[in-house]
Amino acid sequence: MNSYVSHLECAYSGKRYEPGKVHTISEMGKPIIVKYDLERVAAEVTRSSIEDSEEPGFWRYAPLLPVASEQNRVSLGEVVTPIISLENSASVLGVDAKSVFVKDESRLPTGSFKARGLGMAVSMAKELGVRHLAIPTNGNAGSALAAYATRAGIECTVLCPDNTPEINVRETQMQGASTHIVNGLIGECGQIIAEGSGEMDWFAVSTLKEPYRIEGKKTMGLELAEQMGWSLPDVIFYPTGGGTGIIGMWKGFKELIELGWIEDKMPRMVSVQSTGCAPIVRAWEGGHEFAEYWEDAETISSGIRVPSALGDFMILDAVRSSGGFAISVTDEQTLDIQHQIGLSEGLLLCPEGAATVAAYRNSLESGLVSSDESVVLFNTATGLKYPMPEVTSSIDKNDVEYSVFKTK
């Protein structure tokens, strides 16, 4: 398959860059994005050809992805992730069971949505001849890069802040990455990688410092549109750290509209953060184009513990252009709703995913969202990767007291 990529461009200035070459950030220090010849796509590709595709998972959207050669697609058996109704919780939330759904990204390889972005970045690294990749990570990005890079035969180095969940650090190492713990935050890990690029000859796949993770992440939006019969919900709640997910989906939706595959009706995009690290929320509330660095960032939702996002202006543009908003929730609210959803729905959400449910509940109560609006909440990873409460009940096999089994 030939790529439909026309060029690359700076997301801020619009300056064009040549495809088929290794790129990092633009001369302005801003992200570079991929642009497609959508007129040619529209003339040669149909929605039905996507629907009939036998390609695994997000590779079914290959015409809207940058990888030119099928031989360079690095796959670990991706799937189309399900949309699950919160039917048992709807009445508690005060909404119809058919109006609120969770898109469960935990079903992807390595257990998180990071498989989309890093699978695409590694595939492009293979296509462009890159031999060593490095990344700073709070957890899931590192394990996804480790798995896909190992699969591709590409060397991989991962730096984790010292408050990264232990299971993430261990799985990253087990999947082939040279893994290191740093006494600092994710930005400081990224600085070590940036400063070592000359000596180590590695290529940094930090969030938005290369063009292709966005392209993988946008497949969440393409997939959602197809699953909903080529339409979109009224509102999307998305946990926001570095922002590639919300940026990628917004980009994908605009491409689908330009192709004529969906109507010109965009969802309101809601950026969800923690009160312990909410630079996007603060910038949105203040009407700013960029978000200031968040000092002393701390939250149990490690995936959104990002004090500064390179694509802050892109996140804020998607939120504002869509008529959406940015909202933060406390760790206590996140843990409470995570527990409730586990008990009522049988879904073990990650803290970041639970934060979107808490944000949705708060938004219903405050009137930011109405009960009759269709809503999709994104669960970005499996809850199995995060600390869980201990089981405290024990049974003496020689003296069983059956009253302990009574749950009501």
Could you read off the pLDDT of 182-210 as tens digits, one per residue?
Answer: 999 888 999 999 999 999 999 999 989 99
Q: Mean pLDDT across the chain, nearest whole number?
A: 95
Question: Is pLDDT larger for residue 407 or for residue 321?
Answer: 321
pLDDT 10s digits, 162-187: 988 889 999 999 999 999 999 998 88
For the segment 331-357, the average pLDDT, to the nearest whole number, is 96
Classify domain 83-110+213-385 at the CATH topology level: Rossmann fold (3.40.50)
Q: With bands split at pLDDT 50, 70 and 90, how would you rate the model's confidence at 293?
A: very high
Percentage, residues of the chain above pLDDT 90: 89
> Residues of the chain with pLDDT > 70: what percent?
100
Position 238 pLDDT exceeds 70: yes
Distance of CA 345 to the CA centre of its chain: 22
Res 1: pLDDT: 62
Strand 83-85 to strand 32-36: parallel, antiparallel, or no bridges (unpaired)?
unpaired
pTM of the model as a whole: 0.94
Residue 181: strand, helix, or coil: strand
Q: What integer is the mean pLDDT of 79-89?
A: 95
How long a stretch of residues is the chain?
408
Tell whether the model's pLDDT for residue 315 goes beyond 70: yes
Residues 6+ apart with CB under 8 A from 149: 122, 125, 133, 155, 156, 176, 177
Phi then psi for residue 245, to 5 deg, are -65, -55
Q: Whole-angstrom Cα distance, residue 266 to residue 60?
A: 22
Specify the amino acid at residue 339.
Answer: H
Q: Taking 70 as the threshold, does the pLDDT of residue 271 lie above it?
A: yes
Phi then psi for residue 237, to 5 deg, are -100, 125
Assign 132 to helix, strand or coil.
Answer: strand
Q: What is the mean pLDDT of residues 388-400?
A: 92
In the 3-class helix/strand/coil scheme, how is 5-56 assigned residue by residue? EEEEEECCCCCEECCCCCCCCCCCCCCEEEEECHHHHHHHCCHHHHHCCCCC
115-119, 147-151, 294-298, 322-326, range with the lowest pLDDT? 294-298
Q: What pLDDT, on the 0 to 100 scale, is given for residue 355?
A: 97
> Residue 93: its pLDDT value, please?
86
Give the span between the Cα atoms of 195 and 398, in whole angstroms: 63
pLDDT at 2: 77
| Per-residue model confidence (pLDDT) at position 406 | 80
Do 112 and 106 form a contact (C-beta atoms < 8 A)? yes
Q: How confident is the model at residue 408 (pLDDT cuts 50, 70, 90)?
A: low
Out of 268-272, 294-298, 401-405, which region has the weakest mean confidence (pLDDT)? 401-405
The whole-number pLDDT of residue 107 equals 97
| pLDDT score, position 114 | 96
**Please, are residues 151 and 314 in contact by the beta-carbon 8 Å criterion?**
no
Q: Tens digit of pLDDT for each residue in 22-71?
A: 999 999 999 999 999 999 999 999 999 999 999 889 999 999 999 999 99
d(CA 366, CA 251): 29
Per-residue pLDDT, 186 = 87
